[in-house]
Amino acid sequence: MAKRAAIVGAGVGGLTTALRLLRNGWEVDVYEKNMRAGGRLGRIEGGGFKFDLGPTIVLMPDVFYRLFADLGRRLEDYLELRPLEPNYRLHFADGSYLDSTSNLQRMMQEIERLAPSDLDGFMRYLAWMQRRYRVARYDFIEEPMLTMKELVDLRKLWKLYGLHTVQTMNRDVRRFIKDPRLQTALTFQSLYIGIDPFEAPAIYNVIGYMELSYSGVWYCKGGYYSVTEALVRLLEEMGGRLHLGTPVETVEVEGGRAVGVRVRGQLQSADAVVVGADFPLAAKRLVPESARPDYSDARIDKMEQSCSAFMMYLGVDQSYRHADVHNVYFSRDFQGFTDDVFRRKVLPNDPSFYVHLPNLIDDSVAPPGKQGIYVLVPVPNKTAPIDWAKEKKPFRDAMIQRLQRVGFRDLEKHLEFEAIYTPDTWEASLGLAEGAAFGVMPRLRQSAYWRPSLKSKTVSGLYFVGASTHPGGGVPIVMTGARTIERIMSEDYPGYLPNAHQTSKDLPTWSDRRHLAHDFAAFTEQG
């Protein structure tokens, strides 16, 4: 008889875990409290405009190809991924800019134009990061980290020590790069996971390295939400059941084992329960405190959350073409800005922000002749004494003025659609503790073994997946966590996950693009 799993939450972690269980012959029910799947990988629509709710930058396409190949499908039959060139444009306050690219020759030209004295240091930095990337991915990201033994392995500890992992991202880059603009360009990516680059462990510099070398930045036609749509389509094709608008009330635990979930007062029995909702609030709301002595309410409340995001989804009746698909506009004092967000916990007067213009390469996300403008501003989470009911409108107006100053002329006059998300929205709509848009902050003491585990240490048959659990945030990283859960469950349910360690070897390579990973191999061989 087939085993049955109950998945709480139809975010990318829950959906990916469901698909991996379905391929092993399990019966799977996915319960989602909202009327749309996706979680942070959701969508906002209005007036003919389509906006990705959260993530927009597609990294690590091999993880997506791996999932579809493992399921016996071709990714191309479900998604259209396009490589971007350049990856994005970085706009500095002094009027200079940098087109970050995965093409080695072009990137060298960009460095020579912006900071010529740092070209040699940049190449040495890439050599350093190539080693660190392999350690990060294969010794930590793709390992379960269920026990302290996995972490204190002497071989791993020696690698971490030798790669200066415990120093900060910014200090790590400064050993190679002198120009402050280039230092910022190589470290701001920590904001993707909600942590300050002046405090984040240096291991997170692998994010920028992956953009530059591993496989570059990609765009998914229709927006990142197309990934959610593809996962839901796969779920239905494989016989899974998706229950939208169906909140789970509790995870039922009997005799130290998860036996199902309670929905609308009724027990839905299951052999395993996977909680894909964000860990801090989901654990407190769904799992009895007596069943999680390692994560009591008090301990969860002490966990440090990432920053939040002030989001603007703007539809306009014209098309601005002075910028790129992905853009970052830096404040004059970038460290002062991060101090405002992470330490002083006040609204920044001179914020750095991100602007996404997908219709420059995709005519399916806005009506003809019109444009959707996605704006993300990192802001403090709800531990800050900010009353968003009062501050939302003034901050929105200030950002409109800032956007007009960087080239979006007469923006206010051209608005046809507008939606705003604040930390209050993130907490209310997606159950993110303190409105932390990126989940638990990935400080060193909240990473790897010290991050909420993929598997409950006290309740058999209970698992957790998502940005706040190991291995961390970011769509492909969460998908990697789902693959690790499949491996863990193969040991917990002998004989019931026969495909857990079978992965397709028929995967595409990235040799058809000029990425630093390929050009750089020759560079390192020459010393």
DSSP calls for 294-352: GG-HHHHHHSPB--EEEEEEEEESS---SS-SEEEE--SSHHHHHHIIIII-S--SS--
Name residue 5's beta-bridge partners. 28, 272
What six digits make up the tokens of 156? Answer: 């791993």
**CA 525 vs CA 211, 254, 518: distances in Å:** 22, 58, 11
User: Is residue 428 helix, strand or coil?
Assistant: helix
Is there a cis peptide before residue 86, judged by omega within 30 degrees of 0?
A: yes
Contact between 411 and 354 under an 8 Å Cβ cutoff? The reply is no
Q: Is 112 a catalytic residue?
A: no
Contact between 243 and 253 under an 8 Å Cβ cutoff? The reply is no
Closest CA to 311 of 418, 447, 190: 418
**CA 38 vs CA 19, 74, 335, 405: distances in Å:** 14, 21, 33, 34
Q: Pick the catalytic residue: 32, 110, 143, 211?
A: 211
- DSSP-derived pairing of the beta strands 272-275 and 4-8: parallel
Burial label, 67 (beta-carbon count in 10 A; 0-12, 13-18, 19+): buried
Closest CA to 228 of 23, 429, 42, 483: 42
User: Is residue 234 helix, strand or coil?
Assistant: helix
What six digits make up the tokens of 269? Answer: 């029995």
- Helices then strands (H, E): number in the chain? 18, 19
Contacts of 32 (CB under 8 A, 6+ apart): 9, 10, 14, 242, 243, 244, 245, 246
Residues belonging to the chain: 527
Contact between 430 and 53 under an 8 Å Cβ cutoff? The reply is no
Residues involved in catalysis: 211
